[in-house]
């Protein structure tokens, strides 16, 4: 009887192995669902043993939190690049919010996984990651307020209100839409809200496609 063929062991760096686990998690969570997915299934999809999985993540919750943190890292990196260009205050806000919306639409499946099936512990890890992007933009808004660009009773709170409104709208649209999202229309509506929240009452939104 022929001996069972063993899978060839591949040596990878810790960063590459971690990326493998994250990529496997997106596939497994997207098909099996967060609650039903097991560590064994996740490990098998990443082509590692369960023991190796625990070298990188404490639990499924931390794995999902890491997936969302990677998503937020991309948002923060993009925002930092835009801020570093030192464009005028309003065009910068517009570009960041447009990029945020585009990134959310591109990662719609991850949104569905996180907000549709994650438990309270995983959601808290995701909330903590989100706060980094919010704090970065709130600091920018505060600088713009001192420069006289933004006006509101409290511009930091006004920005957070508009940001969370946009985030909530995207989550709602992603959860309900199977035919895709009209990204230009959503961007136009969010920018109109942001300008009004931060005191630009003369802003004329570009008409969104009907």
Same-domain status, 83 and 124: yes
The pLDDT, as a whole number, for residue 128 is 87
> How many CB atoms sit inside 10 A of residue 34's CB?
20
CATH of the domain at 166: 1.10.357.10
Establish if 3 belongs to a structural domain: no
Q: Encode pLDDT of 174-186 as tens digits.
A: 888 767 899 999 9
* Res. 9 pLDDT band, cuts 50 70 90: low
Same-domain status, 47 and 24: yes
CATH of the domain at 28: 1.10.10.60
d(CA 190, CA 38): 38
Same-domain status, 51 and 71: no
For the chain, the domain total comes to 2
Establish if 107 belongs to a structural domain: yes
Q: Which residue has the tokens 């098998």?
A: 44
Q: In terms of residue numbers, what domain contains 52?
A: 11-57
Same-domain status, 96 and 163: yes
Mean pLDDT confidence for 1-27: 77
Establish if 187 belongs to a structural domain: yes
Q: Encode pLDDT of 29-85 as tens digits.
A: 989 988 899 999 999 999 999 999 999 999 998 999 899 899 999 999 999 999 999
Report pTM.
0.82
Same-domain status, 80 and 179: yes
Establish if 130 belongs to a structural domain: yes
Same-domain status, 45 and 84: no
Same-domain status, 47 and 68: no
Establish if 209 belongs to a structural domain: no
Same-domain status, 115 and 44: no
Helical axes 108-117 vs 14-32, angle rounded to 10°: 70
In sequence order, the 6+-apart residues with CB closer than 8 A to the CB of 62 are 125
Same-domain status, 18 and 48: yes
Q: Encode pLDDT of 127-146 as tens digits.
A: 888 899 999 999 999 999 99
The pLDDT, as a whole number, for residue 4 is 45
| pLDDT above 70: residue 195 | yes
Same-domain status, 49 and 69: no
Same-domain status, 106 and 182: yes
Same-domain status, 52 and 19: yes
Establish if 175 belongs to a structural domain: yes
d(CA 179, CA 182): 9
Q: Encode pLDDT of 98-131 as tens digits.
A: 999 999 999 988 888 887 777 788 788 888 888 9
Establish if 186 belongs to a structural domain: yes
């Amino acid at each position: 009887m022929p001996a069972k063929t063993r899978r060839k062991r591949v040596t990878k760096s810790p960063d590459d192995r971690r990326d493998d686990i994250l990529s496997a998690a997106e596939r497994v969570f997207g098909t099996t669902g967060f609650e039903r997915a097991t560590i064994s299934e996740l490990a098998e999809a990443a082509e590692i043993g369960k023991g190796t999985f625990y070298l990188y993540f404490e639990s499924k919750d931390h794995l999902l939190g890491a997936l969302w943190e990677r998503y937020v890292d991309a948002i923060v990196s993009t925002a930092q690049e835009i801020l570093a260009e030192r464009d005028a205050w309003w065009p910068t806000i517009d570009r960041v919010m447009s990029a945020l919306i585009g990134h959310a639409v591109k990662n719609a499946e991850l949104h569905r996984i996180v907000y549709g099936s994650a438990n309270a512990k995983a959601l808290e890890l995701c909330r903590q990651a989100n706060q980094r992007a919010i704090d970065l933009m709130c600091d920018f808004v505060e600088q713009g307020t001192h420069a006289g660009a933004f006006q509101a009773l409290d511009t930091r709170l006004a920005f957070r209100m508009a940001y969370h409104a946009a985030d909530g709208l995207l989550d709602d649209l992603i959860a309900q839409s199977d035919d895709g999202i009209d990204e230009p229309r959503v961007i136009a509506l969010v920018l109109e809200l942001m300008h009004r929240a931060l005191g630009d009452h003369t802003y004329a939104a570009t008409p969104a496609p009907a």
